[in-house]
């Protein structure tokens, strides 16, 4: 009996298979495609895929952040700021504000437990002051132009100290790996939080799969993909 050798390359998983494998929902949404990066929904204003999907959720009452996890990263920094500043290599609070969180967690790895405990114990008033301080940083505004302090405070209300501290603990395991791969949108609706990745034809990236397995699933986050499906133009 002839035995055929296995294929040199196994077929790659489809987006649906990826989502099933990591427990994410997949929703197909009819939309109008104007060019490679310009779409619209129900004849609305055209824009980038994540923008038009975000506007759709916002029109239904959700608070939306369009920044691929930027709101979460800055919220963690705001909550940890007192220890980040105290342990800063240059004893410079402004450096602690401006420097990327993943860099600080790597440099200050020996103080991870202290940093996490700072997040766990921060008061809402102190957190709010730190959020304002971060929002006043022109450096951070240039790095994260879509992050809004109002959304960060709503996100804190939703997550609370314990979840935020647990998230920082998970992030600190591999901060440079987990800085990328966050879904496009964060949605806050009626006391719930959801992360949404917007796709058109491509699949989840390696960084997104890593986020799903290392952050999303362990934290119990509700995550999903909205895939825009081009509809035929009508005459």
Q: What is the pLDDT of residues 104-145, one digit of tens each?
A: 999 999 999 999 999 999 999 999 999 999 999 999 999 999
Residue 47, C-beta contacts closer than 8 angstroms, at least 6 positions apart: 38, 39, 40, 55
pLDDT band at residue 22 under the 50/70/90 scheme: very high
> In the chain, count of helices (H) and strands (E)?
12, 6
CATH T-level assignment (fold) for domain 17-68+181-235: Trna Endonuclease; Chain: A, domain 1 (3.40.1350)
**Can you point out the beta strands (E) in 142-209?**
185-189, 192-199
The answer to whether residue 34 scores a pLDDT higher than 60 is yes
Count CA atoms closer than 13 A to 163's CA, side-chain side: 15
Asked whether residue 5 carries a pLDDT value surpassing 70, the answer given is no
- Integer CA distances (angstroms), 230 to 82, 104, 224, in order: 48, 43, 19
**pLDDT(8) > 80:** no
**Structure confidence at residue 52 (pLDDT):** 97
Q: Is residue 97 very low, low, confident or very high in pLDDT (cuts 50, 70, 90)?
A: very high
Residues facing residue 26 across a β-bridge: 225
The residues spanned by each domain of the chain are 17-68+181-235, 69-179
Which of these, 189, 171, 190, lies nearest to 181 by C-alpha position? 171
Residue in this structure with the two tokens 């602690």, named with its chain if needed: 96
pLDDT of residue 3: 46
pLDDT score at 9: 52
Tell me 103's DSSP state.
H
Confidence of residue 233 (pLDDT cuts 50, 70, 90): low
| pLDDT tens, residue by residue, 146-177 | 999 999 999 999 999 999 999 999 999 999 99
> What are the residues facing 186 on neighbouring strands?
65, 195
pLDDT at position 12 is: 81
Q: What's the rounded Cα separation, in Å, for the pair 91 and 106? A: 17
How big is the chain, counted in residues?
235
Give the neighbor-by-neighbor strand order of the sheet with 38-40: 38-40, 25-35, 222-230, 192-199, 185-189, 63-66
Per-residue pLDDT tens over the stretch 178-223: 999 999 999 999 999 999 999 998 899 999 999 999 999 999 999 9
Please, is 214 exposed, middle or buried when counting C-beta atoms within 10 Å of its C-beta (0-12, 13-18, 19+)?
A: middle
Tell me the per-residue pLDDT of 36-66, one tens digit each, with 9 for 90 and over. Answer: 889 999 989 999 999 999 999 999 999 999 9
Rounded to whole angstroms, the Cα distance separating 19 from 203 reads 10
Q: Quickly tell me which residue has 């114990």 as its tokens.
A: 121
Predicted confidence at residue 107, as pLDDT, reads 98
pLDDT value for 7 = 54
Q: What is the pLDDT of residue 1?
A: 47
Percentage of the chain beyond pLDDT 70 is 94
């Amino acid at each position: 009996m002839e035995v055929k050798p296995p294929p040199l390359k196994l077929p790659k998983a489809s987006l649906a298979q990826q989502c099933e494998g990591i427990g994410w929902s997949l929703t197909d949404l009819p939309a109008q495609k104007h060019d490679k990066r310009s779409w619209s929904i129900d004849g609305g204003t055209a824009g980038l895929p994540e923008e038009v999907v975000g506007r759709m959720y916002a029109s239904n009452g959700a608070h939306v952040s369009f920044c691929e996890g930027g709101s979460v990263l800055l919220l963690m920094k705001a909550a940890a700021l007192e220890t980040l500043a105290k342990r800063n290599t240059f004893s410079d609070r402004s450096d602690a504000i401006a420097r990327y969180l993943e860099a600080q967690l790597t440099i200050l790895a020996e103080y991870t437990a202290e940093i996490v405990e700072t997040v766990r114990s921060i008061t809402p008033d102190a957190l709010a002051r730190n959020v304002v301080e971060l929002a006043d940083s022109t450096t951070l505004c240039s790095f994260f132009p879509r992050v809004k302090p109002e959304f960060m405070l709503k996100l804190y209300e939703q997550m609370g100290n314990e979840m935020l501290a647990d998230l920082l603990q998970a992030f600190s395991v591999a901060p440079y790996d987990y800085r990328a791969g966050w879904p496009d949108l964060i949605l806050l609706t009626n006391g719930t939080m959801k992360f949404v990745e917007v796709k058109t034809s491509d699949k989840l990236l390696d960084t997104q799969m890593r986020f799903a397995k290392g952050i999303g699933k362990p934290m119990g986050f509700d995550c999903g993909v909205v895939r825009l499906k081009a509809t035929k133009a009508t005459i």
